[in-house]
Structure 1
Amino acid sequence: MSTFTVYCHGTGFNRIKGSSSDELVAWFHNHTDGAEAQLAGAAVTRGDYMINEGPGHSGNGVAQPQQINPMTGNQKQNLSLGKTIKGPSFADHAVGNTGGPKVAAKLRGVISGQGWDENVLRTVNLIQDLKFGKGMPIDRVNMVGWSRGAVTCMRIANLMYEVFSDEISCNIFAVDPVAGADAGKEMADTQVLHSNVERYVGILAMHEMRSTFNPQDWSRVRAPATTAIFLPMPGVHNAQVMVKTPADAAYITRNLACGLLRDWGTPINATPYGHLGTAQDMCIAYARLVLTLSEHKSYETKGVMGRLMGGTTSLRRRDFAKHSKMDTYTRGGKESYWINEHHRACFAAAFPDVYDCIFESMGSGEMALTAQSRFSTFFGVVSASAPLRHSMALKGLLVEESPARYMIGVGAGRYSNQLRRLWPDQFPLHA
């Protein structure tokens, strides 16, 4: 298949700020082989990927997206007085002549996301030109986005379905998809994944409590024909795209995204956080997250603006991450050992026999875990990894009797519930 990749920055970010902040979207477009496709002077330059700057970004010499005609790539021009009064014609709309530069464009972008409409139109226009004008046999489009950029990916996929139907398939990696204000409830194209979207992986920040930052999660999104999964991840809104607290949330997210993008056909030329190169490595990183959920008080929204926007100074979870909702996302629910389905799948891949014994077995009781026991390999890993050992003990799955002997509960983590989506077997677990 011929793959084209679209990178969508979130509100307040563009390629320059993203790169200087080591933000996830920028890291990936900076490590994608090939050339950037561009639209300027009413002409499209061939390329392998494109970059959409975020609404209300910080400038750095880069134009706000709503100031650029999405059909030509040129600066928007003011309409004539007559058209200003009557409104642009159908022909004007067809070539993007809908009005001149906006006043207070940055502020409008931050508050309402103004500029993401232009990003959607520009993306589909560019792909059409590459496919039909330049003869590039694009039949798959991968998209990566964060925040409003993640929702922009959904909106692009919706417009692509209108234009191409299922002729071009899409895959989306979305980090904390937040439309802002009530857009996620009112705009239909932020709520549905059509059959052209083959795969969708959404990361959901568990501890972002600003009231205007409600995510597009399973309570809002319909994906009847898509292999889709949402992964709750500790931290606030930006903790998965930049290394914040807890750091492992960003490490896991970026490494997993790399593995998925490569599997989907995007040529990523470096591996982020290579210490997560196996399912076992992922398990140990998740074990640290299990421990931090019980220890950290630093996931709170601390900034003055964040608090004014509905943030909290206490360690709380978004609605989807409450007791009654986590069953939808993680087998075993909120009180299980798993942070999310990726965590569970990594453990099952790294330690299949132990996984079956503790989490799938219908048996009961305890069994000794020693260097001579049936699970001697797992004993060695647990002995060497304090995070794994302590996190399992925290959840009542393991008791340390001595450094040479642990007890594990047979069937101690068995589930009494089902969830909406299991981790798809065909998805890679790491880069």
Structure 2
Amino acid sequence: MPTENLSFRVPNPYVFTVFFCGTGSNSLNGDWERAREEAEQAQIGKYKFVPKPWDELVATLANNHTGTEFVEWVIIDGPGSGNLQEDDKWVKPGNYPKLLGTLWGAGWKENVDHALAMIKGIYEWKRTQLTAEQVRVLKDAGYIDQRSFFQRILSYPDRKANPQELQAQKAKILRKGRLPDVVNLIGWSRGAVSCHMLANKMFQDTALRGIRVNIFAVDPVPGLGRYVLPPSGYDFKLIPSNVYNYVAIYARDEYSIGFTPIVPDFSAQMRNKPIILPLPGRHATLVANAAIDGGEGTQDQELLAPGRLVRHLAEEYLTAWGTALKNRLNLSLREVDGFYESIVRNNGRYIAMRSSTYTAQQIQGNERKVAKGSDLLSKYFSDIRGAEYLHPEGLAPVNGYLSWHHKQIRMQVTPPIAQQQSVDRLFPHFASGLNYALFSEPITLNGMKMIFDQPVGVYPVNLESKEEARRNGN
């Protein structure tokens, strides 16, 4: 155990963050399977892992967490990303083929259960035997297998220690038996859908139902056929009432069939209204892929703006909810506006991305299709609006702006408003579990401006009399 962790104290509130990678993405931000296949084709015994040419959002944020892994955070590889974590799962892994993980999402149920076990601090499975690869490494190092011939061909040697026991013991010592007070979830693609699934699993678990959950979802796509045939027992169409805050960003220009994102239904008992926001670009554009076609094409820094905005928003929300991050962008209001100006300037290029697809191209309509909650019929972006959202404009463009958020930013930086306000940051910072005001108007009470000596929640605010407080046990 690193010496810097010896003085670790469980923070109050105790926040645990789960980072769910998308399909084909992993914590190492690269394609291990492709590296292995290329090495085998070239008949090379050893192969070098080659990272992606762009810094995928979820892996980047997880690597920037300043806390202790398995105690304050965990990152979980996406389906079809190489099975690199199967040996470390706290539940029995599926070891599914890459094709099955990519097309059908095989492995995401195990990912959700793994995260659930991590939150509880109790593993349900551990690998007691070495793997074939580990045996090969040991033999190359001079290890001599003392077992009989039949033992060697039927099984692999037992481990002296396993990762599940080591990780669980680390969590036990440092957590001091505590469950988290807050669980923050962030994911992209099927990783974002996994956030929905995990929130529902926590709500169904009496030991975890009282934990506050916050979700930041980036283009939640279940995959072809999964909306009609969801994984049994894993609900992703409804956000339950244990979720205090829900924020989701959707890619406007992804027209691949099978990449219809879901806008979930929301429990009427949710504390805060959800926030949904559209941004130009394809599915991967939102997580920092600046390729000119939104996929495997040449990277162009001019097309990095949507990814920068999403990262900034993710960092601001996660930080406000209690996740400790370093290397944050810390964009000023004017820098955010500058990225929006870049998007408007290149809007035609983002629209052109619609002709580049992972599968066949969606041909009906002039907008991306969206699945809405439990509705069987798909809708279009501009249909997703209404009073259930904090910003009722939802995914629709707003009077010549890209979105409600774009309009709001422009109004704040355009004189005379910008001259009247000293606004350095896009969002205020305050205690986890609340929601963003998304503007910087003075806070007043009975007509008097309120001044605070420390960051506080500014939305929503509930006031009650002393008599009401006594009745409510406060």
Taking structure 1 as the reference length, the TM-score comes to 0.65
Give the match for residue 107 of structure 1.
Answer: 99
Structure (1 or 2) with the greater helix fraction? 1
Give the match for residue 173 of structure 1.
Answer: 216
Q: How far has the Cα of 1:350 moved from its partner?
A: 3.2
**Structure 1 gaps, min length 5:** 38-46, 77-100, 355-374, 379-423
Give the match for residue 350 of structure 1.
Answer: 413
Deviations 1:335-372 (A, max 9, x none): 62332232233234434856xxxxxxxxxxxxxxxxxx
Please state whether the residue corresponding to 1:110 is helix, strand or coil.
Answer: helix
Give the match for residue 112 of structure 2.
Answer: 120
**Of 252, 269, 275, which aligns to 1:229?**
275
Q: Is the 8 A contact 1:200 1:229 kept in 2?
A: yes
Q: 1:323 to 1:34 in 2, by over 3 A?
A: closer
Q: How many residues align?
A: 314
Q: 1:427 to 1:263 in 2, by over 3 A?
A: farther
Please state whether the residue corresponding to 1:227 is helix, strand or coil.
Answer: coil
Give the match for residue 177 of structure 2.
Answer: 135
Give the letter for the 1:318 counterpart: R
Report whether the alignment pairs 1:279 with 2:333: yes
Give the letter for the 1:138 counterpart: P
Counterpart CA distance in 2 for 1:300 and 1:23 is 21
Counterpart CA distance in 1 for 2:309 and 2:365 is 22
Counterpart CA distance in 1 for 2:256 and 2:363 is 11
Counterpart CA distance in 1 for 2:281 and 2:240 is 30
Counterpart CA distance in 2 for 1:137 and 1:326 is 36
Give the match for residue 8 of structure 1.
Answer: 20
Deviations 1:105-146 (A, max 9, x none): 221111111111111111111211279984134110011100
Q: 1:125 to 1:337 in 2, by over 3 A?
A: same
Q: Is the 8 A contact 1:166 1:195 kept in 2?
A: no
**Of 289, 297, 307, which aligns to 2:343?**
289
Give the letter for the 1:257 counterpart: A
Q: 1:341 to 1:2 in 2, by over 3 A?
A: farther
**Of 211, 227, 251, which aligns to 2:257?**
211
Give the match for residue 24 of structure 1.
Answer: 57
Alignment RMSD, CA only? 3.3
Counterpart CA distance in 2 for 1:352 and 1:124 is 49
Counterpart CA distance in 1 for 2:176 and 2:225 is 39
Give the letter for the 2:288 counterpart: M
**Of 344, 366, 369, which aligns to 1:319?**
369
**Of 140, 160, 168, which aligns to 2:202?**
160
Q: 1:352 to 1:48 in 2, by over 3 A?
A: farther
Taking structure 2 as the reference length, the TM-score comes to 0.59
Q: 1:326 to 1:28 in 2, by over 3 A?
A: same
Q: Is the 8 A contact 1:327 1:334 kept in 2?
A: no
Deviations 1:375-405 (A, max 9, x none): 9x59xxxxxxxxxxxxxxxxxxxxxxxxxxx
Map 1:232-381 to 2 at 5 A: 232-244=278-290, 245=292, 246-272=303-329, 274=330, 277-294=331-348, 296-302=350-356, 306=358, 309-311=359-361, 317-319=367-369, 324-325=382-383, 327-328=385-386, 330=393, 333-334=396-397, 336-351=399-414
Counterpart CA distance in 2 for 1:178 and 1:317 is 16
Counterpart CA distance in 2 for 1:203 and 1:177 is 8
Counterpart CA distance in 1 for 2:259 and 2:408 is 29
Counterpart CA distance in 2 for 1:16 and 1:332 is 32
Q: Is the 8 A contact 2:182 2:212 kept in 1?
A: yes
Q: Is the 8 A contact 2:381 2:395 kept in 1?
A: no
Give the letter for the 1:203 counterpart: I
Please state whether the residue corresponding to 1:190 is helix, strand or coil.
Answer: coil
Q: Identity of aligned pairs, percent?
A: 28
Q: How far has the Cα of 1:222 moved from its partner?
A: 2.8
Q: 1:138 to 1:262 in 2, by over 3 A?
A: same
Please state whether the residue corresponding to 1:171 is helix, strand or coil.
Answer: strand
**Structure 2 gaps, min length 5:** 1-12, 31-50, 123-170, 293-302, 371-378, 387-391, 421-434, 441-474
Q: How far has the Cα of 1:233 moved from its partner?
A: 0.8
Give the match for residue 51 of structure 1.
Answer: 75
Map 1:66-105 to 2 at 5 A: 70-71=90-91, 102=95, 105=97
Report whether the alignment pairs 1:426 with 2:437: yes
Deviations 1:294-353 (A, max 9, x none): 4655423436xx2xx222699953035958526556379436233223223323443485
Deviations 1:174-197 (A, max 9, x none): 110001123234436111111110
